[in-house]
Structure 1
Amino acid sequence: MENQNHHFHDLYERERGLNRDLKTNQLTMIAMGCAIGTGLFLGSGLAVGTAGPSVLISYMIGALIVLLLMGCLAEMTVAHPTSGSFGTIAEKYIHPYAGFIVRYSYWIANVLAVGVEVSAIAVYMKYWFPNVPGIVWILLFGGVLIYVNATSVNTFATFEYWFSMIKVSAIVLFILLGAYVLFGASDQPGIGSENLVNDGGFLPFGWWGMWVAIFISLFSFLGTELIAVTAGEAKDPDVAVPKALKATVFRLSTFYVLTMAIMLMIVPWKSAGVDKSPFVKVMEILNIPGASGIVNFIVLTAALSAMNSQLYASTRMIYSLSRGKYAPAFFGRVSKKGVPTNALTVSTLGIVVAAVVSALVPGTSYAVMMGISMFGAIFTWLMVFVSHLFFRRKWKQMGGRKLPVRMIGFPYLTILGGVLLLSLMITTWFTQFKIMLQFGIPWLIFLSAAYFIWKKTNAMHHATNDALQLSGSDVNLDK
């Protein structure tokens, strides 16, 4: 028991070095900002087109999965507030192999997502500057956000706070304006609750369409797990993490369900996201000038926010891997301001890839990037549920302290969350999202091979060192 406790303490100590400066409100806004992406502002057309009005149920079930996920994550994060987060926890409570594949999958997911976001930013900037090449915006915004992340964690958090504030304010404003259009300007034709049952009823694509749309809804919530990563730099993780997680899940669930309901009542589901954003349509109904430009600015902010958070997350993951000796020690060093700048540098690969792809082969390469990125994020969520099953049992066995937050309904709700998520992942094989497993499964095979090669090389290295030390001892004895 004592050796086991000592082992866990060593795993925690190895990731020390980062500054604990993040406050609760910053943690909440960071997670919300990362989760509120461009898809919502552009109308969530894909989810609506898959399920019709029943997408509201899809988002509710998606929110339930996230609620279960956050419950598991809150308990484990309070116990181990490290930047390696769910990766370090998987290493501690399942096996080093689990920690290896979780952290590298999450790292590559965020690295490639950074590239996708910065490429989208280049497209949004063409609205105002149609003649400027996209690579200019990729390099410009990429450079700015690298500087923000390299300065200090407080600088990153401040930028992310205000990025998120713009997006959250836009959603609240949309909900208020949408409610006014629905209840204060009801003379508008084709607007009202009847849109929820027109054109094929509430379930135009049956229960299958509703089920597939749950998976799509999960992409709206990706990023909430970032709170667990920021816990390694939180001032008081025992208080900040549970509070931030609860606030994030509640607000996101409310925002998404209300926004989707208003969108569906204002814009008939068959045209949602087809011709223009519902955000634009509401502002046009109210005669607000420059509607398209305002929405483009909000979408640009959403992309910048997501990119900023993804760059942070990928930096902390490779830092954690380095401190665990699963990546070169070079990436585990921190600057005087407590920033792992070498880890940040390697995590900008997504920006480099985006710039190269933008210049050479736009189209096909992004399918690979998106496939691995989607898989890495969802696979990480699944492993959080698996890790929690191991964590609770071992934490109790080793006599761990009483935690300020505990996942209710253990182990049934933990298993429910994991089964729902795994079922949805398998479902993607029979949908247009098949690409996720097509690239995700080979990725896991590649990582597994890399782990066992690393393990064998590491074992040989230790054996050689032991032999040299023994040889040296023999020489000294002879003398």
Structure 2
Amino acid sequence: MKFMSEPIKMKRGLKNRHLQMIALGGAIGTGLFYGSASTIALAGPAVMLAYLIGGAVIFFIMRMLGEMAVDEPVSGSFSYYATKYWGRFPGFLSGWNYWFNYVLVSMAELTAVGIYMQFWYPDLPQWAAALVCLVVITAVNLINVRLYGEFEFWMALIKISAIVMMIVMGLYLLFSGPQAFPDNFSNLWRNGGFLPNGWWGLALSVTVVMFSFGGIELIGITAGEAEDPDHTIPRAINQVIWRILLFYVGTMAVLMALWPWNQVGMEASPFVQIFSYVGVPAAAHILNFVVLTAAVSVYNSAIYSNSRMLYGLATKEEAPEFLGRLSGRGVPVRGIFVSSGITLICVALNYFFPGKIFMYLMSVATIAATISWMVITITHLKFRRQCRREGRETKFRAPLCPVINYLCLAFLIGIWFFMTQIPDMRLAVWLLPVWLLLLWAGYRFREYRRG
């Protein structure tokens, strides 16, 4: 396999605190603030167990990616590893699948920015706010990787601070609210029990919960630009998982204890409910600011990760050669322009044709995260076999390999099955073979062009 030479290298400007917030910010999105009510409706108080199960699976998958990233910290991450240890098509598939997924996610977040700004400025055109966000974030990413890391650090910190405030305020209500402590904790098993919708409801809830963790694999994309990757990547992976579980499970535990599960999110977002009960009149404004920040944060990470994925694909000759060149600051400028430019086109299409083609594309994006996780899991198996053949030890070994790899694969296949049982997710599963066929056609065309 021929890799292109590149005299200018990417700069290792991301510190441990950047990696921590990038990983946390990528996995904590608007779903926790707005979408948690629908997840609670599926499982009731057992939604806490759903986050524990999903978080455990993601932890093991991240350890697999972390072992490969520490052993060989490169841009392009799991796409590079899939090509090297599995084959050209798996690397092509994983890279373009990840890129396409994040293009769609960034389109949605860019559109959301316009909607959130209209909360304060109803007459502001949605396209105008989206355009300003696109220009600012693109400029931030063009300068250097450290500026991106700083920007994402503070955006993610706002989201995390909001969650911490929600937990603290919720605990205050638990111990001093109208219901006497500890009687209010009986909400965890009253109203149908801890599993009001049975194990089936829990399984459906786990399926929805898994998409809350989409984006955490971004930490692997940063490996090529992390300072001292031997130490920063393991620390980021080991620390970020228990923090996410604390935020998600902690928030759900507080909500389930405060109110009967079938009343959470009925009047407003659970976030607004807590702040309104405490007596904060600006609860809706606070929430809007937080979700606006969350949308900008996800768009920022999407532009960053997509440009690095395009660069990684180009260095393997699986994307156009011009995308494999860096600026003098070590930034893949062309990949940034391509990724942000496509989101601009799609936002325009969404403006002229709302609720049509865009939603069909988004249904494909919902399943793309599971494809990425499957590629990581299978590639790690092949990586370990290669290490055994060479008789070498890795620095950051993933635990319980290979048994946990097969369990994770079975779990992800199960997610596909349960997606067919949820009307809003069913279309993504039916479109999966079509999407894989398109990727195969793209790969064959690329191979034909290469001769």
Q: TM-score, normalised by structure 1?
A: 0.90
Quick check: 241-250 or 362-371, which moved more?
362-371
Is the counterpart of residue 58 in structure 1 residue 58 in structure 2? no
Q: Following TM superposition, by how much is the alpha carbon of 1:247 offset from its aligned partner in structure 2, in angstroms? A: 0.9
Distance 1:22 1:59, change over 3 A: same
1:476 aligned partner: none
- 2:372 aligned with 1:380, yes or no? yes
Match of 1:393 in 2: 385
2:271 pairs with 1:268: no
Matches within 5 A, 1:224-373: 224-373=216-365
What is the alpha-carbon distance in structure 1 between the residues aligned to residue 251 and residue 24 of structure 2? 15
8 Å CA contact 1:118–1:354 kept in 2: the answer is no
Quote the Cα distance in structure 1 between the aligned partners of 2:322 and 2:379.
29
- 1:74 aligned onto 2:66: yes
Tell me the equivalent position of 1:423: 414
Question: 1:387, 1:184 → 2: CA distance?
Answer: 51
Deviation at residue 189 of structure 1 after TM alignment: 11
What is the alpha-carbon distance in structure 2 between the residues aligned to residue 262 and residue 16 of structure 1?
50
CA distance in 2, matches of 1:191, 1:342: 59
2:92 matched residue in structure 1:
100
User: In the alignment, is the contact (CA less than 8 A) between 1:368 and 1:439 conserved in 2?
Assistant: no
Query: Is the CA contact 2:4–2:316 (under 8 Å) kept in the aligned structure 1?
Result: no
1:412 aligns with 2:403: yes
Whether the 8 Å contact between 1:139 and 1:355 is mirrored in structure 2 is no
1:446 aligns with 2:438: yes
Q: Which runs of 4+ in 1 moved over 6 A?
A: 12-16, 188-191
Q: Deviations over 1:326-351 (max 9, x none)?
A: 11111111111111111111111452
1:242 & 1:21 partners in 2: Cα distance? 17
The 2-side partners of 1:437 and 1:13 are apart by 39
CA shift for structure 1 position 107: 0.3
Query: Which whole-Å deviations, capped at 9, do the CAs of 1:365-385 have from their partners, x for residues lacking one?
Result: 232232222222221011111
Question: CA contact under 8 A between 1:119 and 1:138: conserved in structure 2?
Answer: yes
Moved more, 79-88 or 283-292: 283-292
Maintained 8 Å contact 2:51/2:206: yes
In structure 2, the residue matched to 1:435 is: 427
CA distance in 1, matches of 2:325, 2:419: 40
Give the match's secondary structure for 2:119: coil
Q: 1:330 is aligned with what amino acid?
A: F
TM-score by structure 2 length?
Answer: 0.95
Q: 1:46: which partner in 2? A: 38
Superposition deviation, residue 403 in structure 1: 2.3
CA–CA distance in structure 1, aligned partners of residues 181 and 390 of structure 2:
65
CA distance in 1, matches of 2:3, 2:265: 47
Measure the CA separation in 1 of the matches of 2:237 and 2:434: 33
Structure 1: unaligned runs, 5 residues or longer: 1-6, 460-479
CA distance in 1 between counterparts of 2:12 and 2:182 reads: 53
Q: How many residues align?
A: 450
Deviation larger for 188-197 or 427-436: 188-197
Confirm or deny: 8 A CA contact 2:4 2:315 kept in the other structure: no
Q: Which amino acid aligns with 2:79?
A: G
C-alpha distance 37-417 of structure 1, shift in aligned 2 (>3 A): same
Task: Please tell me whether Structure 1 or Structure 2 has the larger radius of gyration of its CA atoms.
Answer: 1
Gaps of 5+ in 2: none
Q: CA deviation at 1:422?
A: 1.8
Greater displacement, 41-50 / 217-226: 41-50
- Matching residue's letter, 1:319: Y
- Measured against aligned partners, the alpha-carbon deviations of 1:176-214 in whole angstroms (never above 9, x if no partner) come to 111111012243799922222333222222211101111
CA distance in 2, matches of 1:324, 1:409: 31
Q: CA shift at 1:79, angstroms?
A: 1.2
Aligned match for 2:159, one of 167, 173, 180: 167
* CA–CA separation in structure 2 for the residues paired with 1:427 and 1:238: 38
